[in-house]
């Protein structure tokens, strides 16, 4: 086996407050996510308002940056999943932080030499750094997910999921409003410095963690990359829970990707506000996400997470449809604030169900199947909507029953319909799963080595054993 079969489920829960490793992890993620939010909004604004300013193909340029983030998840993710299940997870996270800090810092030279570079060359540099940072993140995220399963007892995982989503939401509140002033007043360099330093701080905090040796992966005597990759894919394919959720997430991602790619243009075209308002709307979404994360933490154990997943996903689609009809910044602010609540709840219940539905030694590989499939959908969705917005729908200006439709709001409305469809559809298989013991959705995969096979079965059985006081819960998200 590539991992030690002893899991946190065998340990009494010390509680999150007494868990030193969790506290360090919490602080590191909070700082890193704040830097990421500043960086993400800065990249979009940098491309849309400076590098590709006044160009008809600006939506395609922004979509290119988002695809540069998503593509490595598909191309690198499956390989990263195998290796993080072999390697020391803490050390993997530390190396990934340092690499990303160096990559982001390297972009600091671009604003200095931009006047001597073509637009194509500038975009190439941005895309390259973003793609390499995203590729490195695949190793960090896989190791992070596995390490969390090791340092958290199952009884602490739902609450930790809600707290982690709160961190994401708070970073979304604070980060985006800082991005626009930094970019337009003091330049892009400050946002790059902030993100690079956030990775350095994350590195130092992970360095301070003391992970018990039994939670560290154990290297195989004879690693077999193909067998390990197939083992994770087979497990994923046999899990009814993971299959059902994956289908719904793929469909929803096609819709949500439209918002990510085109929101800056929706703000100027439909909300009649400056592009810098992207940060303000990001803060609105972040406030709603905090409320949703706190709600998810409060109702943990009272409402089944499968029910929360499909109902909140459906409400997310309704919110996107409502947002497409907004015509002022104030209305858009309110709708995105409300939309943040169901999206945050969906994200909060995702992590615990994945950790419960998957034995620890397969977490990296299962995520390496889940994430690339989701990113294929994200890339496809972004490519389609940015192409339509830049070409065939560019001049769309019609009225139907007195209601005006333009290029961006039509795309957003259809995106909302897709998300509603995904939420309603996944409710049927999830309701069927609720009637069975949750363990039936998770089947152990035999391991070729006879000596290791019994451990693999025991892990799966322990990992999926239900607690009396906890729901069976199922991220998407993000991401960078």
Establish if 1 belongs to a structural domain. Answer: no
**What are the tokens at 316?**
């997310």
Query: H or E segment at 418?
Result: helix 407-434
Establish if 389 belongs to a structural domain. Answer: yes
Establish if 470 belongs to a structural domain. Answer: no
Establish if 469 belongs to a structural domain. Answer: no
Dihedral sign for Cα atoms in the order 386, 390, 393, 398: positive
pLDDT at position 112 is 84
Give the domain range for residue 349.
8-463
For 295, other C-beta atoms within 10 Å of its C-beta total 18
Output the domain CATH number for residue 231: 1.20.1250.20
Q: Is residue 477 exposed (0-12), middle (13-18) or buried (19+ Cβ within 10 Å)?
A: middle
Establish if 480 belongs to a structural domain. Answer: no
Domains contained in the chain, number: 1
CA distances from 28 to 33, 97, 201, 273, 327 (A): 8, 11, 7, 35, 39
Establish if 97 belongs to a structural domain. Answer: yes
Establish if 471 belongs to a structural domain. Answer: no
Q: What is the pTM of this model?
A: 0.59
CA distances from 282 to 132, 182, 346 (A): 25, 15, 18
Q: What are the respective helix, strand and coil percentages of the chain, to the nearest 5? A: 75, 0, 20
pLDDT at position 317 is 92
**What are the tokens at 254?**
């096609």
Question: Can you give the pLDDT of all 480 residues of the chain as single tens digits?
Answer: 333 333 333 344 456 667 777 778 888 878 878 877 888 888 888 888 888 887 778 888 888 887 888 778 778 877 777 777 778 888 888 898 999 999 999 988 888 888 888 888 889 899 999 999 989 988 888 787 777 766 776 666 666 666 776 777 677 677 777 777 777 777 788 878 887 888 898 899 888 887 765 444 544 445 566 777 777 778 877 877 788 878 888 887 777 777 877 888 888 888 888 887 887 887 788 788 888 888 887 776 677 777 888 889 999 999 999 999 998 999 999 999 999 899 888 877 777 767 777 776 777 777 777 777 777 777 777 778 888 888 877 777 777 766 777 888 888 898 899 889 888 888 887 776 655 444 343 333 333 333 333 333 332 333 333 333 333 333 333 333
pLDDT at position 258 is 79
For 118, other C-beta atoms within 10 Å of its C-beta total 9
Establish if 411 belongs to a structural domain. Answer: yes
pLDDT at position 10 is 38
């Amino acid at each position: 086996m590539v991992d030690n079969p002893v899991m946190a489920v065998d340990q009494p829960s010390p509680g999150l407050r007494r868990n030193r490793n969790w506290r360090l992890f919490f602080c590191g993620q909070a700082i890193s996510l704040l830097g990421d939010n500043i960086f993400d909004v800065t990249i979009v604004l940098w491309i849309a308002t400076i590098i590709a300013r006044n160009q008809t193909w600006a939506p395609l340029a922004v979509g290119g940056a988002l695809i540069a983030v998503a593509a490595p998840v598909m191309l690198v993710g499956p390989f990263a999943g195998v290796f993080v299940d072999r390697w020391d997870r803490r050390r993997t996270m530390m190396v990934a932080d340092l690499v990303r800090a160096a990559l982001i810092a390297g972009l600091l030279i671009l604003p200095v030499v931009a006047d001597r570079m073509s637009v194509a060359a500038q975009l190439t540099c941005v895309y390259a750094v973003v793609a390499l940072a995203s590729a490195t993140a695949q190793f960090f995220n896989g190791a992070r997910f596995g390490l969390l399963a090791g340092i958290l007892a199952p009884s602490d995982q739902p609450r930790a999921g809600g707290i982690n989503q709160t961190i994401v939401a708070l970073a979304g509140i604070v980060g985006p409003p800082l991005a626009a002033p930094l970019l337009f007043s003091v330049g892009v360099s400050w946002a790059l410095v902030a993100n690079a330093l956030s990775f350095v701080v994350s590195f130092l905090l992970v360095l301070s963690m003391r992970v018990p040796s039994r939670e560290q992966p154990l290297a195989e005597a004879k690693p077999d990359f193909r067998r390990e990759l197939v083992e994770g894919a087979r497990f994923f394919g046999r899990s009814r829970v993971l299959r059902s959720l994956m289908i719904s997430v793929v469909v929803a991602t096609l819709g949500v990707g439209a918002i990510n790619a085109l929101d800056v243009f929706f703000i100027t075209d439909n909300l009649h506000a400056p592009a810098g308002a992207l940060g303000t709307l990001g803060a609105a979404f972040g406030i709603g996400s905090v409320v949703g994360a706190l709600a998810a933490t409060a109702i943990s154990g009272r409402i089944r997470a499968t029910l929360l997943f499909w109902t909140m996903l459906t409400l997310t689609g309704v919110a996107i449809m409502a947002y497409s009809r907004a015509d002022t910044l104030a209305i858009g602010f309110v709708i995105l604030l409300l939309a943040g609540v169901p999206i945050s709840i969906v994200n909060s219940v995702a992590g615990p169900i994945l950790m419960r539905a998957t034995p620890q030694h397969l977490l990296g590989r299962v995520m390496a199947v889940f994430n690339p499939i989701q990113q294929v959908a994200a890339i496809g969705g972004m490519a389609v909507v940015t192409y339509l917005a830049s070409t065939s729908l560019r001049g769309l200006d019609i009225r139907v029953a007195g209601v005006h439709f333009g290029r961006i709001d039509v795309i957003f409305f259809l995106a909302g319909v897709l998300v509603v469809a995904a939420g309603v559809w996944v409710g049927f298989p999830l309701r069927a799963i609720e009637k069975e013991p949750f363990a039936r959705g998770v089947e152990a995969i035999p391991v070729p080595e006879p000596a290791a096979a019994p451990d693999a079965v025991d892990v799966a059985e322990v990992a999926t054993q239900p607690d009396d006081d906890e729901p069976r819960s199922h991220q998407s998200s993000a991401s960078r």
